[in-house]
Amino acid sequence: MAEATAVTRGGTPWTPQYVEGINPKVCIGCGRCYKVCPRDVLTLVDRGDDDDMDEDDWDDEDAKAMMTVKDAMDCIGCGACGRTCPKGCFSFVAA
C-alpha cells in the first residue's frame, strides 16, 4: 500500500502516523492521550485485565489502569496522543 502524504497549510509535506500500539509496561494510565484523541481510538482498562503482565513489570506501582487501543481503524494519524504522552508509550506506523 502506498504511503499517504499531504501538504500542510505552510507547504510542508506531512505523512500521518497511525497508532500501532501502546507499551503496557510503560503506560501510567494518566488519560492525557484519551483526552486529546478526537476519534475515540483509546480506552482505559484495569491492569488486572492484562494477564501478560506481572506486578514487577509495572513502571509505576500506583498505576491501577492503563490505556489500550480500542479501535485502531478510527485513527486519523494526527499523533496528538503520542505528543501528549509523558512516558512515550505509543508506537506508530505510516500507512
Domain of 42, CATH number, reads 3.30.70.20
Classify residue 21: in a domain, yes or no.
yes
What range does the domain containing 14 cover?
A: 6-94
Q: What is the pLDDT of residue 23?
A: 97
Q: What is the pLDDT of residue 47?
A: 86
pLDDT-flagged residues of the chain (< 70): 1-2, 49-63
Classify residue 1: in a domain, yes or no.
no
Classify residue 65: in a domain, yes or no.
yes
Q: What is the pLDDT of residue 5?
A: 87
Among the listed residues 93, 38, 28, the one whose alpha carbon sits nearest the alpha carbon of residue 66: 28
State how far the Cα of 86 lies from the Cα of 59, in Å rounded to an integer: 13
Q: What is the pLDDT of residue 11?
A: 95
Total domains in the fold of the chain: 1
Q: What is the pLDDT of residue 57?
A: 53
Classify residue 17: in a domain, yes or no.
yes
